[in-house]
Amino acid sequence: MQRVQGRDASPGSQIVVRGKHNTGAKQCQCLDCFDIGVQLLGPLTQLLRYIWELPIIAISQMHGHAIESGMILGLTCDLAVAADDAGFLWRPFGGAGMLWHPWPWTIGMRKTKEILLMGDYITSKEAAEMEMINKSVPPAELEDEVMRMARNVARRPREFNVLVNSPRRCV
């Protein structure tokens, strides 16, 4: 995490983009929290809190299957864009509150409960419709769209971006 902090929080930084370049391969960004358990949850929770509290805008670029913590890592960012062929899955099990705590504020309480209790696979188009992510775009356009958004955000003064994020930090 120190390497991530050193790179992302450097003076003058305005934006950080999380995700892999689109290689065309299905990528599963998954850490199985159920099987790994407490050993991973501590560092994972620290990483999620770090992203949540970043003083700069974080954008996630998601493709493939984002399962559990891979899903949470992408959705913790300020803006999230996914390829049309991406999907999201949260298996229902107890605990892991820090991992999904932002959902009631982003997608609503009812949808949060449905995802946590039902464990249904969510396509990127469904995720965009419920405002879980900002956009679902064709896979070939994913990186270009994320970079377009990053350029738009970077044009604003850093102070503006911090003010926009202030409500998030109160949650």
Read off the pLDDT of residues 104-120 as tens digits, 9 standing for 90 and up.
Answer: 878 889 988 888 888 88
Give me the CATH number covering residue 48: 3.90.226.10
Q: Which residues, at least 6 apart from 49, have a Cβ–Cβ distance to it below 8 Å? A: 98
User: With contact defined as beta carbons under 8 Å apart, do 4 and 43 qualify?
Assistant: no
Q: Is residue 113 part of a domain?
A: yes
What's the pLDDT score for residue 128?
Answer: 96
Q: Is residue 161 part of a domain?
A: no
Q: Is residue 107 part of a domain?
A: yes
Q: How many domains does the structure of the chain reveal?
A: 1
User: With contact defined as beta carbons under 8 Å apart, do 92 and 100 qualify?
Assistant: no
Q: Is residue 110 part of a domain?
A: yes
Domain, as residue range, for 64: 27-155
| Phi and psi at residue 5, to the nearest 5° | -60, -45
Q: Is residue 103 part of a domain?
A: yes
What's the pLDDT score for residue 47?
Answer: 77
What's the pLDDT score for residue 45?
Answer: 73
User: With contact defined as beta carbons under 8 Å apart, do 4 and 17 qualify?
Assistant: no
Angle at the Cα of 129 from the Cα atoms of 45 and 87, rounded to 5 degrees: 55
| Phi and psi at residue 41, to the nearest 5° | -60, -35
Weakly modelled stretches of the chain, pLDDT under 70: 1-42, 92-101, 161-171
What are the E-state strand segments in 117-171? 122-123, 135-137
Q: Is residue 6 part of a domain?
A: no
What's the pLDDT score for residue 27?
Answer: 40
Residue 80 class from Cβ within 10 Å (0-12 exposed, 13-18 middle, 19+ buried)?
Answer: buried
What's the pLDDT score for residue 122?
Answer: 93
> What is the C-alpha radius of gyration for the chain, rounded to an integer number of angstroms?
15
Read off the pLDDT of residues 30-45 as tens digits, 9 standing for 90 and up.
Answer: 444 444 445 556 677 7
Q: Is residue 35 part of a domain?
A: yes
CA distance linking residue 33 with residue 67, whole number of Å: 10
Q: Is residue 14 part of a domain?
A: no
